[in-house]
């Protein structure tokens, strides 16, 4: 059995020590005549050391004095008196006392050291276990609750709370913008809401990453400025601000970032010894790790939810694009077949069916394009392309909806001269769709019989395709609204347009590749839509071409 630390030896230790002294004394008195003083001193020394080892320092010292007195009284002549006649016997007696006391002291000091080391080891073990729990617990919030409970019980606090700091990393150092969320608590004191001082100070701690405290008298203290430089959570001068501390607020920091706040409230006041401060600092770090883990888990769950939504959206898009297209293909093919069979009355109706199927197909395509644009799912392959390629492809694309209208292309070159070779870096398919939408728009809204003018020119770093019509134009107040999804000019019948997404998509596709679409009124009536795309200069022209012409 080990004496309980530095505390008092138990009664049993005293009884056993007394008995050992009594028995050894009685035994030696019985054979007193044949005993030498050295034997007595040795036996008593053994009893003292045994008692000291068994019962601790106090037992050892009391035994030493008791043995000293018994030695003098019973074993040094004249027996039965405290008087010692032989001066040499005094020397023996004093030497015995000194030896016993010193030996007792040495023995207990060694024992105390061993005890401190053992307690430290136990502490370290407990902290390591907590740390492991904070990092490995199935749920971060359970680990945090365990940490809060350990802090609360070890420091006899009224309440220990751990807050998670919400919001983006370190962008705001203003306490008003710090949102703290309580993620763990322990102690009866937590039943009541924290005082207002504590709440505002906690926000300050969360914002600045420095410790703070509230005294019993209501005064608040914050950490001195040098603690900022040291970025030590809680230490030094701050702790010396003195007793009567009601609440301690410690920032929970991980990798230079404040992830949360620990609030320790006394019942009613907090008094910490040095080792308890170290303990609190260490546990605050584990709490910080736990809070960080909670935050990361939340983030991961959020990201997972986003990914899931994304996956669902893409699956939906794919399903819509394939599953809607299949019946459309069938409708169109069958309508085409009826039309071709030339059933006299069926002709016009079959044509309408085919046209409407086309329109529906375009709308589905527009909706898909828009959702791709909005969802950032647009895949761009920018390449060097020639402006004339794009214009040629646009004309091919709108050939079916021209209805006798003309598209006049102008590139600024003089009649008869070869057109300039204008190159740009853009995704051809998306650019075709953007410019095609603008041309279709001009064909749709331009007055019947009027041509659509398509001008192409280089403007600094951009290639500009301007599509001009002689339509009604757009009133100034509406000029930005026309790019909004589902915008329809007032007074235009629903069946003239498509989905109302053409301009939105054109602008979105242009912007996605570093260009844009602009509107301006056309002098003399009508509209001009300009598609601007990044231009490139021909880097390596061909050698053979110059001489060949």
Partner 1 sequence: MPNRDTRAGPTADAGTRLSVLIIDDEAKIRAAVRDALLSDDVEMIDAESGATGLARAASRRPDLVLVDLGLPDMEGLDVVRALRRWSTAPIIVLTARHAEDEKVALLDAGADDYVTKPFSLAELRARVRAQLRRARMPRVPGGDAPVRVGGGDLEIDLARRAVTRRPTGEVIHLTPTEWSLLEVLVRHADRPVTHRQLYHAVWGNTFGDTAHYLRVYVAHLRRKLERDPYQPLFILTEPGVGYRLTLDAGTVERDGA
Give the residues lining the site for partner 1 (CB under 8 A): 321-322, 325-326, 328-334, 336-337, 340, 354, 357-358, 361, 365, 368, 381, 383-386, 388-389, 391-393, 395-396, 409, 411, 418-419, 421, 423, 428-429, 432, 536, 538, 540-542, 544-545, 548
Minimum distance between the CB of residue 534 and partner 1, rounded to whole angstroms? 14
DSSP class of residue 231 equals: T
Q: Which is nearer to partner 1, 34 or 542 (CB)?
A: 542
Reported in sequence order, the residue ranges of 123-224 that DSSP labels E, i.e. its strands, are 159-166, 179-186, 212-215, 220-222
Tell me, rounded to whole angstroms, the distance of Cα 269 from its chain centroid.
34
Nearer to partner 1, 110 or 421 (CB): 421
DSSP 540: S
Nearest Cα to Cα of residue 436 among 483, 500, 369, 503: 503
How many angstroms separate the CA atoms of 499 and 130, rounded? 61
Give the nearer residue to partner 1 in terms of CB position, either 304 or 340: 340
Strand 407-410 and strand 452-459: pairing? parallel
Q: Work out how close the CB of 470 gets to partner 1 at its nearest, in angstroms, rounded to a whole number.
A: 20
Q: Closest separation between CB of residue 310 and partner 1, Å?
A: 18
| Least distance from partner 1 to the Cβ atom of residue 321, Å | 7
Nearer to partner 1, 177 or 395 (CB): 395
- Residue closer to partner 1, measured from CB, 447 or 538: 538
CB-count burial class (<10 Å; 0-12, 13-18, 19+) for 256: exposed
Contacts of 233 (CB under 8 A, 6+ apart): 211, 250, 251, 252, 253, 281, 284, 285
CB of 327 to partner 1, least distance (A): 8
Q: How far is C-alpha 532 from the geometric centre of its chain's CA atoms?
A: 40
Q: How far is CA 473 from CA 323, 401, 482, 517, 525, in A?
A: 38, 21, 11, 16, 6
Is the dihedral angle over the CA atoms 465, 470, 475, 481 positive or is it negative?
Answer: negative
> How are beta strands 423-426 and 527-536 bridged, if at all?
antiparallel
Nearest to partner 1 of 158, 515 (CB atom): 515
Backbone φ and ψ of 247, nearest 5°: -135, 135
Tell me how far, at minimum, the Cβ of 414 lies from partner 1, in Å: 15
Contact between 251 and 210 (Cβ < 8 Å): yes
Least Å distance between CB 385 and partner 1?
A: 6
How many whole angstroms from its chain centre is CA 54?
A: 55
Q: Give the nearest distance from C-beta 159 to partner 1 in angstroms.
A: 60
Nearer to partner 1, 277 or 395 (CB): 395
C-beta of 208 vs 372, nearer to partner 1:
372
């Amino acid at each position: 059995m080990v004496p309980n630390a530095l505390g008092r030896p138990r009664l049993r230790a005293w009884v056993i020590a007394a008995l050992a002294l009594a028995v050894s004394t009685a035994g030696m008195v019985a054979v007193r005549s044949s005993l030498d003083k050295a034997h007595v001193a040795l036996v008593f020394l053994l009893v003292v050391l045994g008692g000291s080892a068994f019962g601790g320092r106090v037992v050892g010292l009391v035994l030493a004095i008791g043995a000293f007195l018994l030695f003098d009284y019973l074993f040094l002549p004249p027996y039965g008196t405290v008087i010692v006649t032989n001066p040499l016997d005094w020397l023996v007696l004093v030497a015995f006392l000194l030896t016993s006391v010193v030996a007792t002291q040495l023995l207990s000091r060694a024992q105390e050291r061993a005890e401190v080391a053992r307690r430290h080891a136990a502490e370290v073990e407990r902290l390591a276990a907590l740390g492991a729990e904070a990092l490995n617990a199935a749920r971060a919030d359970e680990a945090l609750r365990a940490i809060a409970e350990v802090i609360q019980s070890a420091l006899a606090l009224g309440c220990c709370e751990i807050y998670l700091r919400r919001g983006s990393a370190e962008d705001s150092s203003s306490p008003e913008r710090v949102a703290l969320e309580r993620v763990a608590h322990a102690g009866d004191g937590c039943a009541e809401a924290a005082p207002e001082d504590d709440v505002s100070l906690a926000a300050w701690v969360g914002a600045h990453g420095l410790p703070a405290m509230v005294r019993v008298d209501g005064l608040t203290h914050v950490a001195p400025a040098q603690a900022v430089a040291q970025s030590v959570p809680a230490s030094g001068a701050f702790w010396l601000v003195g007793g009567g501390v009601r609440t301690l607020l410690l920032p929970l920091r991980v990798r230079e970032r404040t992830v949360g706040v620990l609030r320790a409230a006394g019942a009613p006041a907090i008094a910490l010894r040095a080792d308890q401060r170290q303990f609190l600092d260490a546990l605050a770090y584990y709490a910080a790790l736990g809070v960080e883990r909670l935050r990361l888990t939340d983030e991961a769950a959020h990201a997972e939810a986003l990914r899931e939504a994304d996956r669902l959206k893409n699956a939906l898009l794919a399903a819509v694009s394939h599953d809607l297209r299949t019946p459309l293909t069938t409708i169109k093919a069958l309508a085409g077949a009826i039309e071709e069979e030339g059933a006299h009355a069926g002709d016009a109706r079959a044509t309408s069916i085919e046209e409407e199927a086309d329109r529906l197909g375009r709308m589905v395509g527009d909706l898909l394009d828009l959702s791709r644009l909005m969802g950032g799912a647009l895949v761009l392959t920018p390449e060097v392309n020639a402006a004339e390629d794009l214009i040629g492809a646009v004309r091919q694309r709108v050939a079916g909806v021209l209805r006798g209208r003309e598209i006049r292309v102008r590139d600024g070159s003089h009649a008869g001269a070869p057109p300039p070779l204008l190159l740009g870096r853009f995704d051809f398919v998306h650019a075709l769709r953007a410019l095609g939408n603008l041309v279709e728009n001009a064909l749709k809204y331009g007055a019947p019989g009027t041509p659509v003018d398509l001008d192409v020119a280089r403007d600094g770093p951009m290639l500009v395709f301007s599509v001009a019509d002689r339509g009604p134009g757009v009133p100034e107040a509406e000029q930005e609204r026309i790019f909004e999804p589902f915008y329809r000019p007032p007074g235009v019948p629903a069946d003239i347009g498509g989905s109302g997404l053409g301009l939105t998509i054109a602008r979105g596709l242009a912007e996605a590749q570093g260009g844009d679409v602009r509107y301006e009124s056309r002098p003399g009536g009508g509209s001009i839509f300009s598609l601007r795309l990044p231009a490139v200069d021909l880097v390596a022209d061909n050698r053979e071409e110059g001489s060949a012409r």
